[in-house]
Amino acid sequence: MIKFQHKLTIYDIIQSNIQRIGDNFMQEYYYPRLKDIREDNDKTQKDIAEVLNTTYQYYSAYERGVRDIPSHHIITLAKYYNVSTDYLLGLSNDKNK
């Protein structure tokens, strides 16, 4: 008989589902939005990396979802593109809200 050392609780299951939903949301809305808005403004990843005072490799990793983008970079990008942070994060489709 196999004994489990860890029992799953409802909390564990809910947390796992929240994480999965969050990851799906980020992949579907947030990361593509970073790339789309950059391309809509005819900018390269290198251009935006310079705006953020970071490397091209780091910015590329942000767009691909390999690295989490720091909140201060989100604010900088919102100001640079003249859009809301909610829009950048995929929480709104209205660029000004």
Domains of the chain and CATH, by start: 11-70 (1.10.260)
Q: Which of 58, 75, 63 is nearest to 32 (CA)?
A: 63
Q: Identify the pLDDT of residue 54.
A: 97
To which residue do tokens 């969050």 refer?
22
Q: What is the pLDDT of residues 4-59, one digit of tens each?
A: 455 555 555 555 555 555 556 556 667 888 999 999 999 999 999 999 999 999 99
DSSP letter (8 states) at residue 8: -
Q: Give the pLDDT of residue 65.
A: 85
Q: What is the pLDDT of residue 86?
A: 86
49 contact partners, CB below 8 Å, separation of at least 6: 55, 56, 58, 59
Q: Residue 43: how many CA atoms within 13 Å on its side-chain side? A: 20
